Structure 1
Amino acid sequence: SFKQYAREHPEMPALGKLDVCVLNSTAIVDRSKDFLSKYEKVHAFLDNDAPGRGALGKIRSFLPENVILVNESERLYPGCNDFNEFLQKAGCPAAGHEI
């Protein structure tokens, strides 16, 4: 869903070389520390709820100070709980489908 949406919206992060870290649960955020800390910029697409905000805070706390953390949930879909809900409300044909 993200790749399809990003292709159609140039304001999204560049798709040239894109590494992805999928957290299927906010409970495993700590496992992402070493992976995410290697990057200059991290785009987080977490849920807009208490667990999502908590996970974002945890990520912010362990990233080195020079790493930019972009909260895409707040920037891109502030009125939705998650990216898929945003796509569904936008009427995106990719909503709910893997690409």
Structure 2
Amino acid sequence: MLTLLENPNLLEKDDFTDLLWASFHLGEELDARPSLENLPETDKAHLANDVKRMYALLLNQWIKYLIHLKSQYPHLYSLVLRTHPFQPSPNPVIHE
């Protein structure tokens, strides 16, 4: 992931760069703790905020990706619609 931050083309994409930084930050926060058990509520709240930030940025990128697929690669978009993780029973099989 560090090499992505070195790519000047990606750095021009502010949303994607923000996602990378949020991901790195969350990873560093989690790595800095020997355990997630018995954390004070303030620390749990901080980590929860970091997760929410990264997840919101990730979801935003995923939606942009889907918009791109829909217009440029409808066959791949169709597969994503059938298999994405936000539905109760993802299934690649096309039903009538």
TM-score (norm 2): 0.26
The structure showing larger relative contact order (alpha-carbon pairs under 8 Å, at least 6 residues apart) is: 1
- Structure number having the greater strand percentage: 1
TM-score, structure 1 length as denominator?
A: 0.26
